[in-house]
Amino acid sequence: MSVDLNNKYGHITISNEVISTIAGGAAVECYGIVGMASKNQIRDGLSEMLRKENFSKGVVVRQDEDRLHIDMYIIVSYGTKISEVAHNVQSQVKYTLNKTIGLSIDSVNIFIQGVRVTSE
């Protein structure tokens, strides 16, 4: 699926993979995020972190009529307040997609797939 936009210059089609990649990039810039996780790879309590080129596997873009919903699967850093990290990711993703593409996102749902201890 894709998002279709019309403006005075013509027609624009944005694929869901592009939206997923931008949303994943915005999420990993937030404090407390270790990385993105694939929504399908949670087994035995272990999740594999996705590399930058695979962020779209950890983000699901859903469309209901003219409404966009984003589901994000993330891994957070140990010792951070998960609710604050999730709220920051939601705000950052909405802001980034609005700024870069001009899309209004109705909801950003966060699914915590794991907690990692980072050596900093």
Q: Which pLDDT tens digit goes with each residue over 4-50?
A: 888 889 998 888 889 998 999 899 899 999 888 877 665 544 556 66
**Structural domains in the chain plus CATH codes:** 17-116 (3.30.70.1350)
Secondary structure (H, E, C), 5-52: EEECCEEEEEEHHHHHHHHHHHHHCCCCEEEEECCCCCECCECCEECH
What distance in Å separates the CA atoms of residue 75 and residue 97, rounded to the nearest whole number? 21
H or E segment at 67? Answer: strand 67-77
What distance in Å separates the CA atoms of residue 42 and residue 78, rounded to the nearest whole number? 18
- pTM passes above 0.85: no
pLDDT given for residue 72 in this prediction: 93
